[in-house]
Structure formats: structure tokens, C-alpha cells
A and B are shown apart, each in its own frame.
Chain A
């Protein structure tokens, strides 16, 4: 199984924006239920392959989408 990580955002709206930005940049991703140990902000998170974490961070910065954290 490919190692993966999840990007967590403040709101559902930002989560969907991030998903769209990742897909537009060619980064495969999926929406998943946010891990229980992460804060109770948005109930969803964006899951990507860990090897794409740096690229994904750059996409978020370029798109001005604030991220609460990566787990």
C-alpha cells in the first residue's frame, strides 16, 4: 500500500477547493473522513500519497488555500 497523508482544512468549503486544486495540478487525491485524533473542524480531509506532500503544499500556497495541518 502506498503511504498516504491527509490534509485538513478549516471548513468543508476549503476542503473541496483543495481537492479541486490538487486534481487540477494532476495530484491524485480523495476525500476521506478526517482521522479522529485530528481536531473537530471540518469532518472531511483530503488524502494523497505521501510522496506528493511537498507538491500538494505548493499547490495550496499558490491557490491561497489555508491548511490547518497534515497528518
Chain B
């Protein structure tokens, strides 16, 4: 099987990911931060090392500002709901995933105002007002793969003292990202896509100058004498037992990327994209949506074929390959998403 649904979750993972999860579950599956015995210390060390690896990959100066979440959705909910209070205004784009749209929409009934505009610096600037407290924008569309100009958006937002939350669900691990250089205030990432971790992993980076409210409350293994959550990250936001086996696997995925280099991953992705789009463009009646220049997009290609229902393309258009391809049907069109682990020749 050639798996082409990497925009939803990556497959296959590097072998080290499977091995790390297996090792953790078999040999040190204790609860991190809750005890001082050897297995609990090892579990806590796994989380510490994964935090450090993520910080290195994204050029984050303070690894303790990386908060583990169950997925990017959890990270986005924390970043958005933790930052917005009644009377606050949030600007987001019309190209967002529901994990960005739904959290601020849910609190509109509590007095939060939401404006959705095109993901361009000028339109976002025009939508801002004195009550704007957050810009939430995706780095790249999960539908057409278009990469948005987050550097310019951040510059405009910071010029007015407004923090920016970047949803890197489609770019983390496949597009080089320097959090420090870009000045990203909040970065939400899934662990199970381009970072090659298991499902059930993700994280939110919170810049040191921000102090969002926690949205999850419970035990942290620290300051147990207090009924309030601890006042320091990451404990303030990580209530309950962590998905330590998943985080162990995520650590292995991130180490794989550190060894290979995200720049090399991106180069491989561009090769695949070029092959794929050239091959698709030669098919009569096929329309590709979104940027045609691979340099302007992530590893996502959205298309339709005239006269064929997108849901049936796999069955009717290339029946001999039906069992060889796994892809997604998105926005009533067909989406193909290769990854760093996809072989070039077969993908074309």
C-alpha cells in the first residue's frame, strides 16, 4: 500500500517510533512526576527529553513552555480559550480548520467577538480593532495546502501589541520553522502528522510573556497543597496523567527529523509534489485547486475530475490502484498528501 493521507495522520512512522513506544509500554510504563521510583523517574525523563527535542527542532528557547496536549485540537483550544475573555476580539482566517473556528465561536455567546477574513496581512490588519487580543491563523491550509505569510501577519500583529497563534498542523516537521526568529507567540502542533509521533499526541508552545488561563484542571504532581493549578509552565496546563507512551514515540519521531533535517524533508516533499502535480495535470478533465507552484504549498494536492464524483475516484478512475492508495475526500474534492516517508517513483 502507498499511503497518501498524511495530511490526516502520517504513515508509516520511522521504525524508532514503534520501538520507543514498545519499550516504554513494556519496560518503564510508570506515571511520570508522581513518584520517585526508578520507572517513574525514567517516565519523567522521557517527557523531559521529548520537550527538549521539540524545542531544538522549532528553535524554542524555553522547553518548559511546551505543553503536551492530546492533539493539535487540544493545543488550539488551550491557546484560544485560554487567551480570550468576554469583550475580547479574535481575528482568524476563512481558511481555518474547525479546530480554529469552533473554539472562538463557542465563546461568542460569552461575549467574545470573532472576525474571519482572508489569510493576508492587509485584510487581517484591517479587521483588527482596539479590543483584538488574538490573531489565530493556520500556517498552511489543510484543504489546498497554501502556505500563508505568517511572518508578515506576525509583524503586523506585533506592531499593535497583539499575539499570534499559529496552527502548524500541516507544516510541523515538513516546513522549517524558527519560532524565535518569527516571534511566534503560540504554536499549536499535532504530534501524529509531520512529527511522526503516535496519534493522541500534540503540543502548544506558549511564549514566556503570555499567561493563558488553563482550561483543564487536576493533578500535576506539583504544588499538591494548592487547590489552584501551579503558576508555572508546563504544570499549569498539564493536568492528569500524560500520554507518556505517545510522548515517548513523539520524541523518537522528532529525533528522526533532527537527524534527517526538516530542510531535507521539505526538499523531498517538493520533489513529490512536482511529480504528483505534473502527473495529474496531464490527465484530461482533472482540475487542481490551490497554488500550482509547489514552493507555495505543503504536501497537499486537491483536485477533481470532470464527471466523476470525488468519492468514487479511487474506484472508477484507477481501479487497478484502488487498493494501493489511501487518500482523503475533502471539501467534495480529492486530496492526496504524500510525506517524507513516501517513495518518489510510485507517488508520481
A56 to B64, CA, bound (A): 22
Q: Check B131 for interface membership: any CB of A closer than 8 A.
A: no
Q: Which of B33, B37, B230 has the most CB of A within 10 A?
A: B33
Contact residue among A11, A32, A43 (Cβ-Cβ distance under 8 Å from B64)? A11
Given contacts A11-B222, A12-B222, A13-B51, contact A43 B35 (CB under 8 A): yes
Contact A44 B223 (CB under 8 A): no
Count of B interface residues, CB-CB < 8 Å:
23
Q: With CB as the reference atom, state the residue of chain B lying closest to A31.
A: B41
Contact B223 A32 (CB under 8 A): no
A44 nearest CB across to chain B (Å): 6
Q: Mark A25-57, 1 if CB is under 8 A from B, else 0.
A: 000000111100001111110000000000000
Majority secondary structure, B binding face = loop
The number of residue pairs between A and B whose CB atoms lie closer than 8 Å in the complex comes to 52
Contact B33 A43 (CB under 8 A): yes
Contact B36 A13 (CB under 8 A): no
Residues of chain A within 8 A of B222, CB atoms compared: 10-12, 40-43
Contact B64 A44 (CB under 8 A): no
Q: Check A5 for interface membership: any CB of B closer than 8 A.
A: no
Residues of chain A within 8 A of B37, CB atoms compared: 33
Q: Which of A11, A33, A40, A44 has the most CB of B within 10 A?
A: A11
Contact B34 A10 (CB under 8 A): no
Contact B45 A16 (CB under 8 A): yes
Residues of chain B within 8 A of A60, CB atoms compared: none
Residues of chain A within 8 A of B235, CB atoms compared: 11-12
A56 nearest CB across to chain B (Å): 19
Q: Check A21 for interface membership: any CB of B closer than 8 A.
A: no
Contact A41 B223 (CB under 8 A): yes
A63 nearest CB across to chain B (Å): 14
Contact B44 A14 (CB under 8 A): no
Residues of chain B within 8 A of A33, CB atoms compared: 35-37
Contact B234 A34 (CB under 8 A): no
Q: Mark B42-64, 1 if CB is under 8 A from A, else 0.
A: 00110110010000000000011
The 6 closest A-B pairs by CB, nearest first: A33-B36, A16-B48, A13-B64, A40-B225, A40-B224, A12-B33
Mind listing 24 A-B residue pairs with CB under 8 Å?
A10-B232, A11-B232, A11-B235, A12-B32, A12-B33, A12-B48, A12-B222, A12-B235, A13-B48, A13-B51, A13-B63, A16-B48, A31-B36, A33-B37, A39-B225, A40-B223, A40-B225, A41-B223, A43-B33, A43-B34, A43-B36, A43-B221, A44-B33, A44-B41
Q: Knowing that A40-B225, A43-B222 are A-B contacts, what are 5 other residue pairs whose CB atoms are under 8 Å apart, sorted by A's residue number?
A: A12-B32, A12-B48, A16-B45, A16-B48, A42-B221
